[in-house]
Amino acid sequence: MRALSAARPLSLLPALLLGLGLQPLAAQDSVHTATHEQGEHADPDHAVQGGGALPAGWSVRSDEDAGTANVKVVAMGKGIHVTLGPAIILYRDKMAGSGPFHTLATFTQTKKTKHAEGYGLFYGGQALDGKGEKYTYFLVRQDGTYLVKRRDGEKTTEITKGWVASPAVHKPDAKGTATNLLEIDHKLDPSKVVFKVNGEPVHTLDAKATDDSGVVGIRVNHNLDVHIDGFDVHR
């Protein structure tokens, strides 16, 4: 029986890998590139009808230069409603400043996502429309965990040791809805930055170890549908 040529086994390799439930290296690399900051999934960003418009006075930046075609932000009631597509930061330039501050907002996740995705607040926002963007962010997600992290351009650094479980974080109810009040308090005691969930402190930073100068705003990760009420900054 004639042996297969050297080229034929190589040409069969992708099919053999797929048959074993594996992906060729090129496909693995593309999936890795598409993943978001949690690094635990490769969900594509959802398509969002009516995306691309923002309420007056708001600015948005999507992760990985994904654009805003699948970012929908609308004024609703006394708050705003965000439906995504890509992960974003959302902010108003008038929320910039320096020195002690207190910021808060109530977030209602309206439906569970396939994978747990974070939403919350950020502060110290600088160069938000450029490659050197910087900010510190505080998120919770539907599995009852929270995260504090720092972004400096394309680099991110964990302040907490990854996602941390806390009974203070409300998980979705039977309808898939969860409401959480988030606060970052650097005003009551200016020597500290205290991160709170539903009134309970969950993490504290020495104010000297963080940068409080810049924009305060909102971060919502991809494929979430979230209503936000009462967002404000007090200095």
Same domain? 44 vs 30: no
Same domain? 174 vs 88: yes
Same domain? 27 vs 42: no
**Is pLDDT at 20 greater than 90 in this prediction?**
no
> pLDDT digits over 173-182, tens only?
999 999 999 9
pLDDT band at 42 (very low <50, low <70, confident <90, very high): low
Report how far residue 186's alpha carbon sits from residue 188's, in angstroms, rounded to the nearest whole number: 6
- Give me the count of residues in the chain: 235
Q: What is the pLDDT of residue 28?
A: 33
Range of the domain at 52: 38-234
Same domain? 49 vs 124: yes
Q: What is the pLDDT of residue 53?
A: 86
Count up the domains in the chain and report the number. 2
Residue 223 DSSP code = T
> pLDDT digits over 78-106, tens only?
999 999 999 999 999 899 999 999 999 99
